[in-house]
Amino acid sequence: MAVQEVRVLLDNIDEPGLNHIDTYERLGGYQAMRKALTEMEPDEVLAALENSGLRGRGGAGFSMGKKASFLPKGSMDKYLCCNADESEPGTFKDRLLMQKNPHRLIEGIIIAAIAAGANKAFIYIRGEYVLQADVLDAAVREAYDKGYLGQNILGSRNDVDLVVHRGAGAYICGEETALLDSLEGKRGNPRLKPPFPANQGLYNGPTLINNVETLNNVPLVIAKGVDWFKQFGTEQSTGTKVVSVSGNVQRPGNYEIALGIPARDLVYGLAGGPPPGRKIKCWFPGGSSAPVLLEEDLDRPYSFEAMAEAGSMLGSGAIIVVDDSVPIVSVALRLAQFYRHESCGKCVPCREGTNWTVKMLERIDTGDATPMDLEIMAQVQTNIIGNCLCVLGDSMAMPIGSMIEKFRDEFVEHIERAREAKDRLSVELGTYAEPADAVA
């Protein structure tokens, strides 16, 4: 299959020295910033972003321009936070963008900050991304030296300060309000919304929070125009998307595509499909928090709207492929363990629900569960969904719920097999007890 990537964000990505400002500028970098500063009013920038249809690439898929326009006008301290806490299992696109092309992110931040009236910006990067944070630190210094950051950028009245802030290992800090708490020097606990960050965010000031990839798109929209940007993708999912494909495929990696191409093109055409002789059992279309889809769903277009229609979501744009060699229970258990470990512990249904789910899944594997537990487990997921403070609880409950729903027979079979194995073992060890089922 000859499927072609559309390299817009990833153009020149392998250019040696792209992480240095000279190379970046030689390739046309920081021209969008000049244009935004000298030829456009902030409102025009915001309008362009909104008209481009650019949707957030971090998971929620909300219109970026609209989000920026929610910030109140006025002279209070406003902030921009770039969410570079890329931790959603299966997602590694921002890592590539930051490591290879840090200046486009910085340029995007400068443009967005000025448009939104923010003069203090932060990149909250996960602590594990040491290399990428070092690259960003160096790039920020270069940008300061050139006068692109700091006071009176390019002689204008605009100031933007940018600090690269390293996290210290917590998935939940990718949730935007937990990120703010963490950046304020607290535990990364999500906040109640409202108030929304646009009104009361970092240090209680109006705050714009955008994902790395989203901000990478900003210089492109400004430099090349709204129409150019909208030529890619579908009506509701404009632009290109860097998709991380991983799991049981032959060529895991980041692939940039125009949104709306069939998912099959991505999984098979670009990532090479599952290993020879294997079939796809299920796949996560938007990171591990997305409900799983089946083989036949691969023919759906890969776009925000089509994935939602299929009962899942495009999320962070990360496809994880599970082939038929993997027991679904082991995927569910691994997933539940992840969310249990990463739950911040603040709200009850998430903290206790993830914990309980793991315990039930563990019992399935040890032969201590009955099909009745499957019902309870499914209900526990229902009890989590919609009742939590943030989306982390749902992020476990939705995929686990979808697995129970779509692979119920496999779960039941697994339960029965494990019980039999346990009984056999206990007969061998002489600890066998008459099973309760005999009574019923």
Partner 1 sequence: MPKPEPKLITFEIDGREVQAPEGQMLVDAAKMGDVEIPYFCYEAKLGQPVGACRMCLVEVEGIPKLQTSCSTPVKDGMVVNTKSDRVKQAQNAIVEFLLVNHPLDCPVCDKGGECPLQDISYGWGPGRSRFIEPKRHFEKPVALSPLVAIDRERCILCYRCVRFSQELSEDYQLVFLERADHTFVGTHDGHPYVAPFSGNIIELCPVGALTSQAYRFRARPWDIEDAGSICTLCPSQCNVKYTTRDDNKVVRVLARDNEDVDDGWLCDKGRFGYQAIHVPERVTRPMVRDGGELRPVSWERALSEAAGALARAGDRTAALVGGEATNEDGFLTQHLLRGVLDSPHVDSRTSGVLDPQQQAVLAQPDLTAKVSDIEWAGTVLVLDTELVDESPILDLRVRKGVRRNGLNVIVATSRPSTLDTNARALLRFAPGAGEALLAALAAAVSGQGDLEDLSGRAGTSAEILRGAAELLQEPGPVVVLWGERLSQGERGRQAVARLIDLARQLNLSGTEGAGLLEVPRGTNARGLREVGCVPALGPGLDTATRAGKSAGEIAASVPGEVSALLLVGADPLTTHPDRGMWERALDRATSVIAFADFVTEGLDEHADVVFPAESEAEKDGTMTHPDGRIQRVRQAIARPGEVRPQWSVLAELCERLGNPTGLLSGAMVSERVFESVPFYEGITLAEIGGKGVRWQERDGAARLPRVELPVGELEIPPRATAEGLRLGTGPSIWSNRVVEHSPLLRFLLPEQVVELSPEDGERLGLRTGDQVSVSVDGTSVSGRAFLRSDMPPGNVFLIEGTRTDNATALLNGKPRSIELLRAEETSPA
Partner 2 sequence: MTDSPRGNGRSLRESDPLLADRIVGTPEQQAAARPAVAAGWDEPADIEKAPATIPDLSEVEVPPALKAEIEAHMAKYPNVRSAALPSLEAAQRVHGWCSPEALRQVAAVMRVTPAYLSMLATFYDMLNTEPVGRHYVYVCTSVSCHLRNAQALAEAMKAAKQEGDDVNVREFECLGACDMAPMANVDGRFIGPIDPSEAPEVLAALREGRTPLPGRGLGDEGFRLPWEGES
Strand partners, 114: none
1 binds, among partner 1, partner 2, none (CB under 5 to 8 A by kind): none
Q: Which stretch binds partner 2 (CB under 8 A): 49-57, 83-91, 106-114, 256-264?
A: 83-91
Q: Which stretch binds partner 2 (CB under 8 A): 101-109, 128-136, 207-215, 389-397?
A: 128-136
Which of 81, 112, 320, 378 is close enough to bind partner 2 by CB under 8 A?
A: 320
Q: Which of 162, 149, 139 is nearest to 23 (CA)?
A: 139
Q: Which stretch binds partner 1 (CB under 8 A): 231-239, 240-248, 309-317, 344-352?
A: 344-352
- Using the rule CB under 8 A, is 77 a contact of partner 2? yes
278 binds, among partner 1, partner 2, none (CB under 5 to 8 A by kind): none
- For the four alpha carbons of 122, 127, 131 and 134, in that order, the dihedral sign comes to positive
Choice between 197 and 301, CB closer to partner 2: 197
Q: Least separation, in Å, of the C-beta of 203 and partner 2?
A: 5
Residues numbered 363-392 forming contacts with partner 2, rule: CB under 8 A: 363, 368, 370
Choice between 167 and 197, CB closer to partner 2: 167
Residues numbered 414-433 forming contacts with partner 2, rule: CB under 8 A: 433
- Using the rule CB under 8 A, is 355 a contact of partner 1? yes
Q: Contact positions toward partner 2, by CB under 8 A?
A: 77, 86-92, 94-95, 99, 120, 126-131, 163, 165-171, 182-188, 203, 244, 246-248, 250-254, 272, 284, 288, 318, 320-323, 326, 330-331, 334-335, 338, 341-342, 344, 359, 363, 368, 370, 433-436, 439-440
